[in-house]
Amino acid sequence: MANKMKSHSGLKKRVKRTASGKLKRAHAFAYHKAEAKSASRKRGLRGTTLVSASDYKRIKQLVAYK
């Protein structure tokens, strides 16, 4: 009998599902050393974005039961 895989605890906290079942995440590089970044760049890093198509399969497997 095969055991269920465990979800990745760290990734569970960083990824949410949209209503249609896609995965969304926060932007990287937004806060550390923010004073060196332009206002428009910081504005573009606000909010969330979808997980890219190239990473989707791998990430979906790690948060399978979320």
Domain membership of residue 32 (yes or no) is yes
Domain membership of residue 35 (yes or no) is yes
Check residue 57 and give its pLDDT.
Answer: 94
Domain membership of residue 27 (yes or no) is yes
Whole-prediction pTM = 0.80
> Does residue 50 surpass a pLDDT of 90?
yes
Domain that holds residue 15: 9-62
Check residue 12 and give its pLDDT.
Answer: 94
The CA-CA-CA angle for residues 39, 30, 16, to 5°, reads: 130
Check residue 49 and give its pLDDT.
Answer: 97
Domain membership of residue 14 (yes or no) is yes
Measure the CA dihedral 10/11/14/15, to 10°. -160
C-beta separation of 24 from 16 below 8 A: yes
Domain membership of residue 30 (yes or no) is yes
Check residue 47 and give its pLDDT.
Answer: 95
Domain membership of residue 4 (yes or no) is no
CATH number of the domain where residue 18 is located:
4.10.410.60
Domain membership of residue 3 (yes or no) is no
Per-residue DSSP letters for 20-66? TS-EEEEPSSSSTTGGGS-HHHHHHTSSEEEPPHHHHHHHHHHTTT-
pLDDT digits (tens, 9 = 90+) for 1-47: 788 889 999 999 999 999 999 999 999 999 999 999 999 999 999 99
